[in-house]
């Protein structure tokens, strides 16, 4: 019997309900995080709750104890079509909830991070709850530190660079470690693999090792995230012209059929309907259920796609991805997970991505077919050049260096455990780091300090060559306001501590003498004044907004009932924020020091006139 099985048998089963009521991409990311947890804690019995129409992925995972589905269509459609009222439907929903309420859950992990799921989490009895829920009075609550971070930062549209899969994994493993103790040793078992799903479908076309497939997913959940079909056609044409060893399989839903027709017509006209090139293009658009889709994606050498579920499916199955990051998505958080994936994004400002309404996503047009093709050929030939050739040199060989100016290209890498682990996207083109990307690194560092208890050295992934004069100027300005915010937070902590101490000596929060009441009132008022002052920092400096959002979330989630507990918790929250702002200031200091001109020591200078070396 192997070691994980022994532990699983010897330990009491731990019943864990995971609520994932969002979409397929989130489901796949959740499954990746759960695979890691199951490997480390085999005693976990994982029950996975998903919407019926997004449950197919989970149903093909053998190590889940059970997949519970929420029949949203049958419950919600009569309400949406006004055949029934919400109150009339309540009974049906209650019947669905009833078996879940009867269970005794050790863990309820709500990874939906949605309003609806917070109500469901509150309804179910669980020893430990993670994610969003509701308090006894029905008000919204985030149960743990990472949930605060997701609410304030990730869902607050603040740039940060920790991948969602890493957040979920760390959140769950931390809770398991606190509750169940150290995990079992299982070395570095891979979380992703071709055998992630138990698929019964066998078809020689997808198992022939001589055949090399490139999967192209034409659509995405929103039009803004999709690349133009004429671009896909040009890309396919470049591949067909120059890579006779590769075939292309087109993937997508029924709504992508129009795009598919355009693309196939383009190929037909260019090469002929019976040409060898045309025979190397297969369309499965609108024809794949989950099992076929997973089989095909797992058999491809590459998947090229926008921000859509297929990049997570490919990540799970260990298929390499070239992700076209289009339309205001953040690949740091939701890009392909694993080693050696590539991401290509526009390097130019896009008003729509910046939040402007009724304007086009110009980022879609900045990424040319040539840029995607050159990036793919660079990535696919890594084995030959071992990345000793730079990406810009590779573009130059095609004469397409001008295409590189409009894009940023990144390569994913899993950090070593002693560097903090998790996925990081390394830039492949030398260019100045943008302020938002710098801030994303800072926020990632702050989150690790807050919730992991361990942080890498400041600026490990920041290089001097990426620092621009503009960034230096921004940071100098930011340092002043960050310093003022840090001082204010420390003052707030002191007042909250005084409030807690003072109230701890009182027998009641309501009955007290007039002097005590006056003193408490004065402290309370002072804290309110400081709070409104803290709020102003977010209005004056956009860069400090993440801390102000976090401040609001932390204050909303105080749990204490008595004044002394509330004061103590508030002091801890101010302290947490002050620590975060302190890390921000350390980053500013480090970056400004890095940008400072450095004298070259001991340079050997050769005098041309005398032909002698001068030291």
Strands 212-217 and 246-251, bridge-based pairing: parallel
CA distance readout (Å), 220 to 240, 301, 367, 463: 24, 21, 16, 35
The residues that bridge with 389 in the sheet, in sequence order, are none
The distance of closest approach from Cβ of residue 407 to another protein in the complex, given in angstroms and rounded to an integer, is: 24
Q: Which of 98, 188, 513, 532 binds another protein (CB under 8 A)?
A: 98
The yes or no reply on residue 495 touching another protein (CB under 8 A) is no
199 is a site residue for another protein (CB under 8 A): no
CA 51 to CA 69: how far, in whole Å? 5
Looking at 91, 209, 355, 602, which residue binds another protein (CB under 8 A)? Answer: 91
Instruction: Give min distance, CB of 197 to another protein, in A.
Output: 14
CB nearer to another protein: pick between 113 and 587? 113
Give the torsion sign (CA, 325, 326, 332, 338): negative
Counting residues that bind another protein (by CB under 8 A) gives 54
HSE value, Cβ hemisphere, 13 Å, CA-based, for 274: 0
Q: Which residues, 208 to 237, sit near another protein by CB under 8 A? A: 219-222
- What is the nearest approach in angstroms of another protein to the Cβ of residue 152? 20
Piece of the chain touching another protein by CB under 8 A; list 39-47, 82-90, 362-370, 489-497: 82-90
**Residue 507 interacting with another protein (CB under 8 A):** no
Q: How far apart are CA 209 and CA 577, in angstroms?
A: 54
Closest distance of CB 285 from another protein, Å: 10
Helices 86-102 and 72-80 cross at an angle (nearest 10°) of: 160
* 48-77 positions binding another protein, by CB under 8 A: 51, 53-54, 72, 75-76
Report the residue number, 313 or 496, with the smaller CB distance to another protein.
Answer: 313
Structure tokens that stand for 156 in this block? 């607050």
CA nearest neighbour of 350 among 363, 332, 359, 337: 363
List binders of another protein among 116-135 (CB under 8 A): 116, 118-120, 122-123, 125, 134
261-320 binders of another protein (CB under 8 A): 286, 288-290, 293, 308-310
Q: Give yes or no for residue 80 binding another protein (CB under 8 A).
A: yes
Q: What separation in angstroms does the CA of 326 have from each of 219, 321, 369, 408, 609?
A: 12, 15, 14, 12, 56
Q: Which of 7, 11, 59, 93 binds another protein (CB under 8 A)?
A: 93
Q: Is 255 among the residues that bind another protein (CB under 8 A)?
A: yes
Compare residues 19 and 34 and give the one whose CB is closer to another protein: 19
Chain centroid offset of residue 497 CA: 36
- Binding to another protein by residue 260, rule CB under 8 A? no
* C-beta of 77 vs 402, nearer to another protein: 77
What span, in angstroms and rounded, lies between the C-alpha atoms of 340 and 174? 27
Nearer to another protein, 126 or 546 (CB): 126
Taking Cα atoms as reference points, which of 336, 240, 249, 247 lies closest to residue 295?
249
Q: Which member of 3, 74, 115, 203 binds another protein (CB under 8 A)?
A: 115
Residue 124 or 263 having the CB closest to another protein: 124
For the CB of residue 24, give the shortest distance to another protein in the complex, in Å. 5
Residues 6+ apart with CB under 8 A from 586: 458
| Pairing, β 612-614 against β 605-607 | antiparallel
Kindly state whether residue 87 participates in binding another protein, applying the rule CB under 8 A.
yes
**Does residue 357 touch another protein according to CB under 8 A?**
no
Based on CB atoms, which residue is closest to another protein, 120 or 281? Answer: 120
Q: Which stretch binds another protein (CB under 8 A): 112-120, 155-163, 334-342, 555-563?
A: 112-120
> Residue 81 or residue 386: which is nearer to another protein going by CB?
81
From the list 11, 23, 212, 526, which residue makes contact with another protein (rule: CB under 8 A)? 23
Provide long-range contacts, Cβ within 8 A and 24+ apart, for 437-443.
437/159, 437/161, 438/462, 438/471, 438/587, 438/591, 439/159, 439/543, 439/546, 440/159, 440/160, 440/161, 440/332, 441/161, 441/587, 442/583, 442/584, 442/587, 443/153, 443/158, 443/159, 443/160, 443/161, 443/546
Which residues partner with 140 through β-bridges? 134
Instruction: Give the C-alpha separation, 356 to 338, whole Å.
Output: 33
Tell the smallest beta-carbon distance from residue 172 to another protein (Å): 22
CA 117/CA 111 separation, integer angstroms: 9
What is the distance between the terminal CA atoms of the chain, rounded to a whole angstrom? Answer: 69
Q: Which helix (H) or strand (E) holds 191?
A: none
Which stretches of the chain bind another protein, using CB under 8 A?
21-25, 51, 53-54, 72, 75-76, 79-80, 86-91, 93-95, 97-98, 101-102, 104, 114-116, 118-120, 122-123, 125, 134, 136, 138, 219-222, 253-255, 286, 288-290, 293, 308-310
């Amino acid at each position: 019997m192997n070691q994980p099985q022994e532990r699983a048998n010897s330990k009491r089963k731990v019943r864990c309900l995971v609520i994932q009521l969002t979409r397929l991409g989130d489901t796949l990311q959740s499954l990746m995080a759960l695979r890691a947890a199951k490997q480390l804690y085999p005693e976990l019995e994982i029950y996975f709750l998903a919407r019926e129409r997004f449950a197919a992925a989970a149903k093909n995972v053998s190590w889940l104890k059970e997949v519970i589905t929420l029949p949203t269509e049958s419950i919600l459609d009569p309400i949406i079509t006004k055949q029934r009222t919400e109150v009339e439907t309540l009974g049906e929903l209650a019947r669905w909830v009833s078996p879940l309420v009867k269970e005794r859950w050790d863990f309820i992990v709500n990874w939906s991070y949605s309003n609806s799921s917070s109500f469901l989490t509150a309804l179910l009895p669980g020893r430990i709850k993670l994610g969003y829920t509701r308090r006894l009075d029905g008000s919204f609550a985030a149960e743990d530190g990472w949930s605060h971070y997701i609410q304030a930062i990730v869902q607050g549209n603040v740039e940060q660079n920790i991948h969602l899969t890493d957040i979920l994994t760390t959140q769950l493993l931390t809770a398991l470690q606190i509750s169940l103790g150290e995990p079992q040793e299982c070395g570095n078992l891979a979380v992703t693999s071709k055998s992630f799903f138990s698929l019964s479908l066998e078809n020689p076309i997808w198992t022939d090792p001589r055949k090399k497939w490139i999967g192209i997913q034409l659509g995405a959940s929103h039009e803004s995230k999709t690349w133009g079909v004429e671009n896909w056609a040009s890309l396919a044409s470049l591949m067909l012209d120059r890579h006779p060893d590769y075939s292309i399989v087109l993937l997508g839903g029924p709504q992508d059929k129009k795009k598919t027709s355009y693309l196939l017509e383009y190929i037909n006209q260019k090469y002929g309907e019976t040409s060898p090139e045309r025979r190397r293009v297969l369309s499965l658009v609108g024809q794949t259920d989950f099992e076929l889709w997973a089989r095909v994606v797992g058999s491809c050498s590459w998947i090229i796609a926008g921000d859509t579920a297929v990049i997570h499916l490919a990540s799970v199955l260990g298929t390499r991805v070239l992700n076209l990051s289009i339309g205001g998505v953040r690949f740091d958080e939701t890009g392909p997970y694993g080693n050696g994936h590539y991401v290509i994004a526009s390097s130019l400002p896009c008003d729509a991505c910046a939040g402007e309404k009724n304007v086009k996503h110009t980022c879609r047009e900045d990424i040319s077919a040539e840029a995607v093709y050159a990036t793919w050929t660079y990535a696919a030939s890594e084995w030959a050049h071992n990345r000793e050739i730079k990406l810009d040199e590779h573009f130059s060989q095609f004469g397409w260096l001008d295409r590189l100016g409009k894009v940023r290209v990144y390569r994913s890498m899993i950090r070593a455990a002693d560097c903090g682990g998790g996925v990081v996207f390394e830039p492949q083109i030398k260019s100045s780091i943008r302020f938002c990307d710098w801030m994303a690194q800072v926020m990632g560092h702050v989150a690790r300090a807050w919730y992991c208890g361990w942080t890498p050295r400041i600026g490990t992934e920041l290089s001097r060559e990426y620092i621009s004069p503009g960034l230096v100027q921004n940071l100098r300005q930011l340092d002043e306001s960050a310093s003022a915010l840090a001082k204010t937070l420390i003052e707030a902590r002191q007042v909250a501590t005084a409030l807690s101490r003072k109230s701890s000596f009182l027998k009641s929060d309501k009955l007290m003498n007039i002097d005590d009441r006056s003193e408490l009132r004065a402290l309370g008022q002072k804290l309110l004044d400081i709070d409104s002052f803290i709020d102003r920092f977010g209005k004056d400096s956009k860069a400090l907004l993440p801390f102000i959002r976090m401040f609001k979330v932390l204050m909303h989630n105080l749990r204490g009932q008595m004044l002394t507990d509330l004061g103590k918790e508030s002091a801890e929250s101010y302290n947490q924020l002050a620590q975060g702002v302190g890390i921000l200031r350390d980053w500013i200091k480090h970056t400004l020091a890095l940008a400072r001109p450095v004298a070259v020591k001991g340079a050997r200078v050769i005098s041309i006139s005398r032909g002698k070396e001068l030291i």
